[in-house]
């Protein structure tokens, strides 16, 4: 293996490396309680298998979004599914039309952009709706990671 020894650039002796690891360990003992108190900190052990560790990371950080698409005469079924997912499994319903109205009423930056598009008889692009949804989905607490998406346009972009 070339470039791994003492003469290679970036070489750090084992004594210095051990000292830096020790410093990190001491400092993290103070940092972790602070992060637990002040942020949405989640501690994940990396001592297990990589796939198990990634399952834990994904469960902690990735939201689950279920898109309930509109269909002919499906309002009752859609309502039933949405209610069951909310009541029995803790999902939050994100009705895109209601969210657009809320953003418009609150005069947020994206709400004003959408209002301007509607005023000029243009369709609000899916990209703009996704931008709004990302802001909402990723602004909550780490405990809320399950969402139902309703009234999203039935388009492919």
> Is 93 within 8 Å of 148 (Cβ atoms)?
yes
What is the average pLDDT across 55-64? 76
- Can you give the pLDDT at residue 3? 56
What is the average pLDDT across 125-143? 84
DSSP string for residues in 79-148: HHHHHHHHHHH--EEEEHHHHHHHHHHTT-HHHHHHHHHHHTT-PPPHHHHHHHHHHHHTTS-TT--EEE
**What are the tokens at 49?**
């298998």
* Domains of the chain (ranges, CATH numbers): 14-58 (no CATH), 63-150 (3.40.50.300)
In the β-sheet with 64-67, what is the strand arrangement from edge to edge? 64-67, 146-150, 92-95
Question: What's the pTM value of the predicted model, to 2 decimals?
Answer: 0.58
Task: Look at residue 100 and tell me whether its pLDDT is greater than 90.
Answer: yes
Q: How far apart are CA 123 and CA 108, in angstroms?
A: 18
Percent of the chain with pLDDT over 90: 28
């Amino acid at each position: 293996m070339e470039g791994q020894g003492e003469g290679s650039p970036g070489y750090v002796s084992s004594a210095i490396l051990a000292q830096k690891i020790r410093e990190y360990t001491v400092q993290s003992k103070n940092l972790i309680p602070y992060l637990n108190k002040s942020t949405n900190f989640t501690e994940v052990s990396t001592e297990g298998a990589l796939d198990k560790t990634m399952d834990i990371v994904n469960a902690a950080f990735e939201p689950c979004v279920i898109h309930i698409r509109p269909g002919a005469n499906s309002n009752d079924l859609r309502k039933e599914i949405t209610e069951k997912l909310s009541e029995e499994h803790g999902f939050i319903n994100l009705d895109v039309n209601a969210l657009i109205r809320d953003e418009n009423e609150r005069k947020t930056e994206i709400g004003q952009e959408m209002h301007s598009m509607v005023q000029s008889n243009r369709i609000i692009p899916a990209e703009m709706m996704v931008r709004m949804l990302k802001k909402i989905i990723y602004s909550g607490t780490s405990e809320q990671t399950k969402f139902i998406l309703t009234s999203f346009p039935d388009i492919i972009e």
